[in-house]
Each structure stands twice: as C-alpha cells, then as structure tokens.
Amino acid sequence: MKKRILAAALAALMLLPLASCATGDDPADTSANTNSAEAGAEGETDFFPDIPKKDYDGAEFRMIGWTEPGDWYYADGYENTENKTSILNNTIYEMNTLVEEHLNIEMSYQTVKVVTGHEVFDTVYPQIMSGDDPYQLCTLHAYYDYPSFITGNCALDFYELESPDYDQPYWNREVMDMLSIDDRAYIGLSDLCWYSFYMIYCNKDLLKDANMKVPYDQVRNGEWTFDLFFNMTTGLYSDNGDGTRNDKDMYGFAGLWDGEGNAFLQAADIYVAKKNDDDEFELTLYSDRFVEMYDKLYAWSRDESVLCWNFHSPEYTVDFKKNQSYFTCSGLGTQYLDAEFEVGILPLPKYEKSQASYNHVNWGNNMIIPSSIRNKDMVGDVLEMMSFYSSTLVLNKYYDEVLQLRVSEAPDDRDMVELIYDTVVYDPGIAFLDGNSGLANLVYITCFGIRENNPNIASYYQKNYKIAEKTLNSLIRKVQHNNSRS
C-alpha cells in the first residue's frame, strides 16, 4: 500500500477519544470512555497496545469477506473528497497505514460476491487443505460458514495468539467465551468487526405534538422497557379519512418485521442457546419468561396502531420518512438523515426494569482466523492494533461524520448510539444455525410467529426443537472429537 498520509493528519486522528463497544459494569451508563489514543509524543499517552514497533519485512496480511473496500476493514487509497463515504474510507485507510507502518506489513482485502452465503469458506477451504497460508482473517456474516470452518479444523483458536489483550474494552471477550468450544475461541468479536444492530427510531416532531417526550432519561435510568415501549406506540392510529386501514394512515409503530423481530428476543435477555454449568450448549429458549414475552409482543402487534410487514409479500408498507409513524425499528445507519423532521435514536427496550442490561444482538460480522496461518505473532499484533484503532479512530469518525452525531450537536442520540455499541451480545443459536433448519426456525421464532399471526408459539417450538438440539449436539461432538485427536 502506498503511504500517502501526511504525518500531521495521522497525529491529529490519533488524538481522537476512545469509544468502547464492550459491555461495561453499568450498561445504563452512556458516558463515553475518554481515554486517548497514542499521541505520538512521550507523556501524552493514556493507553496504547503493548506492541512495540516491529519489522515483519513486508509480510502480507490478507483479509477476505463480504464488505467492499472503504466500507469498514480496508481501504484501497485516500480519496480527496468530503462526502460521508470518502470520510469513512479515509479513516479506514489511515488506520491501515498506521498498522502497516508500525509493523512493516502490507494489508489487502478480497471481497467475495455473495450468492449462497458460503463463498468465503468455499474460497478459503481448498487453499487451507493444500497447506497454503492464503488469508490471515475471514470476516463472516452473522451465521454463514461457522460450523464448516470449525468442524473442518479450519478455524484457529483466538486464544492461541499472544498479542491481543482480550480484557481491553475493544474486545468482546464475554461473547467470545460464550461461543467457545472446549475453551477454544474459534469466533472473535472486537471493535474491528462491522456490527449490524437493530434499534428504535422515533419522530420527535410527532411525539412533541402528542405531548410525549423522547424517553432518553428512562433509558439512562434503566426504565426503558417493553411495557413503556408498547404504551408509547399504541393508541396512536388515525385514519386518513377514507375509512380503510392502508399506507395513507398514521401509525404508532410501522416497520419491516424480519431481523428486526428477531432482535427483540435477545433484547429481552432471552437466548435460543446458552452454555450450561458443564460448559455445554443447550437450548434455553422455551421458558415462562419467553412465553410471557411472546404473548405481550403478539398482543402489541395486533393493535391497530402497529403495522409490521413481511419483506417478501407486504400488503402495504409505510415509509418512516413520510411522517406517518411515531416509531420504527431499523438497522443503525444513515437512512433517515435526510428526513424532514427531527429523528431520535433509542436502544431496543429491556423486557423489565430488573434486567441487568440493554442487549443488542449483532447481525453483522464476526471473525475467523484460518488454522493455516504461519505467523501467529504477526496476525495477533495486527488484530490487536486494528481493534484498538477501530475503537479510537474509526468509530469516532463514524459517529461524528457518518451518523452526524457529534456530542455538541446531538448529545442524547450520541449517548444512545454509544450505549448500543456498549451492549453488543450474540447468540450461539445464531452462530451455529448454518445447516440446522430447526435452529434457524427457533432463531426466527419472534419474526415468523408474529408475521404468521400465531398466538400460540408452543406448537411452533415443538416442531423445531428436536432437530435443532440433535444437529447442535452433533456439531459440538464433532468439534470435541477433532480436538481430542489434535
């Protein structure tokens, strides 16, 4: 990679404050971590990874995944424009350059064209089997290919790497431990990952007209719950005058019900699968808490103020930007920046006040290290530094310039986004559903149940849990067998 970054620009970027995505002791506390990155001068450093400047003699660090260059992990070059896309691209390029110059390596990224979802594994596997060291990092979709990598002995245990400090806030060790098998962390999560979350957007103008406040204070106090969310979104329907419920009417909540519906499950601290006391995975979805939660969610979805539609065959939809719904659920992004009304951001609600944390399940990328890598020291150093700089450089630029959530201009919404990033969770049920139809159906239980107008979810669960359990246990036994032979 050509080095075209001015030293002054790099130094300025390195002074940006640290933004953590790991869960803190108090998940309701939205205050930012104010540690600074390496400033380049002695005495100005609060923290920097314990990785001295090294010379890997131009070794290649090759990544492969679904994203395009400039989107998150890698950028081809510096762009002399000022739009949001180029600003993020340039920050990523600067991160890459900082790591390259510190370690004397060359970074590259290969984007695969997605057709079946298995293109990363299909590309990497033959080269691993041939004994080559083709890639040092694979960034995968939320659920494709993990079983193939792990059962095929193609995934390295992250904990074999010595450089990463997994207790630092830019790593999500809690989730990595939860997904580990035989104490081996085959799946990695850090701020380097492109996370994809579902959260709540609200129309501040409509709420003001209805004498309602955006519940920022309730969020901070841990009181933003399902019941409060349901109360604020129901009883708000109004017909446009034609006597027919359609896309011209006003709704309390209107939105696509797909991954959005799934995310309400983990938001309520309910997981399809978890580890038991014997460190083994088991299905944990069905419980009194789940039944009670689903009953409430189902009753809410039947209110005339609530419109949830199927992506594949919607009767009609309502665009949030058309000023016809008070709330919607959507992925964190830039899709509402051009709305003609003031938009507010909120986390997904907790199920109840006593719930320990807000939870936002990642439907974006996680990481796999191919088992074929030959230079573990180099890979560990790169991942530690990229995770650090993603936290200190990329996320801050993403908040400020891409999402336009500068602290000075949108302090409440900036707090909410930082809280969302601070409460990243994952579900082993999602990680291991590839090739397991029963598990996939359970992961989508709150999505399909609501869309199919199913008031009794017990029968749906019964149809799927046996095959889900059998296939999950088979996967784990195969991994344990492979480990016993190694």
| Helix/strand/coil (H/E/C) assignment for every residue in the chain | CCCCCCHHHHHHHCCCECCCCCCCCCCCCCCCCCCECCCCCCCCCCCCCCCCCCCCCCEEEEEEECCCCCCCCCCCCCCCCCCHHHHHHHHHHHHHHHHHHHHCEEEEEEECCCCCCCHHHHHHHHHHHCCCCCCCEEEECCCCCHHHHHHCCCECCHHHCCCCCCCCCCECHHHHHHHCECCECCCECECCCCCCCEEEEEEHHHHHHCCCCCCHHHHHCCCCEHHHHHHHHCCCCECCCCCCCCCCCEEEEEEECCHHHHHHHHHCCCCCEEECCCCCEEECCCCHHHHHHHHHHHHHHCCCCEEEECCCCCCCCCCHHHCCEEEEEEECCCCCCCCCCCEEEECCCECCCCCCCCCEECCCCEEECECCCCCHHHHHHHHHHHHHHHHHHHHHHHHHHHCCCCCCCCHHHHHHHHHHHHCEECCHHHHCCCCCHHHHHHHCHHHHHHHCCCCCCHHHHHHHHHHHHHHHHHHHHHHHHHHHHC
Best mean pLDDT range from 7-16, 30-39, 325-334: 325-334
pLDDT digits (tens, 9 = 90+) for 453-462: 999 899 999 9
Over range 65-77, report the average pLDDT.
Answer: 95
pLDDT for 238 equals 96
Q: What is the overall mean pLDDT for the chain?
A: 90
Q: Is 12's pLDDT higher than 60?
A: no
pLDDT digits (tens, 9 = 90+) for 266-290: 999 999 999 988 888 999 999 999 9
pLDDT for 481 equals 87
pLDDT for 123 equals 96
Percent above pLDDT 70 for the chain: 91
276 vs 126: which has the higher pLDDT? 126
pLDDT for 85 equals 83
Q: What is the pTM of this model?
A: 0.89
Over range 413-433, report the average pLDDT.
Answer: 96
pLDDT for 406 equals 94
Q: Is 28's pLDDT higher than 70?
A: no
Q: Is 26's pLDDT higher than 50?
A: no
* Lowest-pLDDT range of 126-130, 233-237, 295-299: 126-130
Over range 72-94, report the average pLDDT.
Answer: 91
pLDDT for 443 equals 97
pLDDT band with cut points at 50, 70 and 90 for residue 23: very low
pLDDT for 277 equals 84
Over range 184-196, report the average pLDDT.
Answer: 97
pLDDT for 82 equals 78
Q: Is 5's pLDDT higher than 50?
A: no
* Lowest-pLDDT range of 8-17, 193-202, 221-230: 8-17
Q: Is 220's pLDDT higher than 70?
A: yes
pLDDT digits (tens, 9 = 90+) for 30-40: 333 333 343 33
* Lowest-pLDDT range of 305-309, 400-404, 406-410, 481-485: 481-485
pLDDT band with cut points at 50, 70 and 90 for residue 46: confident
pLDDT digits (tens, 9 = 90+) for 232-265: 999 999 999 999 999 999 999 999 999 999 999 9
pLDDT for 391 equals 96
pLDDT for 209 equals 96
